[in-house]
Amino acid sequence: MSALKLLSRTKLYWGLIAIFLIGVLGSPVSSKGNNIFLSYGNLLDVLRQVSTTGLIATGMTAVIITGGIDLSVGSLMAICSVVCAMLLTVPGVTPGVVLGVPTVAVVALCLGFIVTRFIFLNLEKSRAGADASRDARLDHARGLVTPAIVGVVLCCLSLWYLLPQVEPKFGVLGVLLVAPCVGLLFGALNGFIIVAGRLQPFIVTLAMMVTALGIARLTAGQNNAVLPVYTGSNATEDFELLRSMVFGVIPMPGLFFLGAILIYGAVLRFTPFGRYVYAIGGNEEAARLSGIAAGRVKIVTYAVSGLLAGIAAVLYVAQYRQGKPDAGAGLELDAIAAVVIGGTSLMGGRGSLTGTFCGVLIFGLLSNILQLHNINSNLQLVLKGMIIIGTVLVQERNAGDLLAYLRLPGAAHKETAAAKRPSQETRSLNLGGNKK
């Protein structure tokens, strides 16, 4: 492999290294002469700050690889933050309980049914062998009765766990169960409408973004623009755990983000589901004709996107000590920008969570550098926009294209040579004329 090809394939990592070096070399120093950017506390703050966007970008990556888009994740995070804050701080039956607890029951019922049926079907396929695996069928007991029983049992267990927490207020595990389930249900609804209605993901998720924002405001109530959460006062003191340091080494939100990247990255890289995601993004019609259940795969990607938005909402409430209906305003655009900076193509079929991780860190380090230098917040937005455009140009164009567009020395010569060089069709016509 030539040095130029190696550089092209690793350009994302070089971009991350370049941003890091700029931060190190241009960092202000403390009164003791220490580099502030390189301080352990500052780097941990960067990881903490990017965790919310990073979780949403993790789910967004698979959606974009399939050729879709999810504009609703910011509003879904807002709903989940309101539900989380209300469950933590308000005892009794509230709009948060009415929305959250039945949602968990429905999700438990559906997941129990789907997962059990999936296990039985794969066992049947492995028993039938490779030649007859596509024709594998389940009998009534394994295809309907047993999965339904498992779903009902899981539904009852979830209600058994959650209902006693309604009156005294919910704890940490309770909100970590309810909020992600709310996001998952709305995300799955996105995917179902896109697949069943054969609609553009942009339109469906845009409509869901507006709808979810309205539901978040209705849930919070007219007089509750912000729902404050004070651990040890109006909420359980254990909730402080979600903003603490794990073994004094890594912030808890960063641990959630890294865990999501590693788990979902392994799923996309090493499982048939991951191969289906890339196949659908490359050519959905060909994937469908080859036997892939493209609709189901797409629904799962949108459901996981909503699930991660729900987890991000709980971490948001823990860090900022509040839930509010506009908590995720504009966050979907930051997530999309981080995914695209990470090398995922908006056309689908190409991308990775390793790239998304680098894209999120580039965004976070850039924001941190600008803040350390006290750059005006409006100017920060301008600089971020320019960097997004420049990074995507580098990701989508090769060096020759960039030279040609910029009209740099050497580009004109290449274009002239290309213009003078006859095309394959012209050469064929000329050869035909000569023969005559």
Q: What is the mean pLDDT of residues 379-386?
A: 80
pLDDT of residue 231: 84
C-beta of residue 257 within 8 angstroms of C-beta of residue 51:
yes
- What's residue 4's pLDDT? 61
Confidence of residue 261 (pLDDT cuts 50, 70, 90): very high
Average pLDDT of the chain, as a whole number: 84
Q: Which residues of 83-98 are buried (b: 16+ CB within 10 A; e: fewer)?
A: bbbbbbbbeeebbbbe
The two structure tokens encoding residue 424: 């394959």
Q: Which is more confident, 278 or 374?
A: 278
Whether residue 420 has pLDDT greater than 60:
no
Nearest to 26 by CA among 41, 37, 16: 37
Residue 264 · residue 56 · CB < 8 Å? no
Tokens representing 255 are 């641990």
Q: CA-CA-CA-CA torsion for 229, 48, 28, 247, nearest 10 degrees?
A: 100
Tokens 């039956």 identify what position?
A: 93
| Range of 240-244, 302-306, 372-376 with top mean pLDDT | 302-306
Higher model confidence: residue 393 or residue 21? 21
In angstroms, the CA 96 to CA 85 distance is 9
pLDDT band at 109 (very low <50, low <70, confident <90, very high): very high
pLDDT exceeds 60 at position 5: yes
Alpha carbons 64 and 342: distance in angstroms, whole number: 12
State the CB neighbour count (10 A cutoff) for residue 166: 18
Average pLDDT over residues 99-122: 92
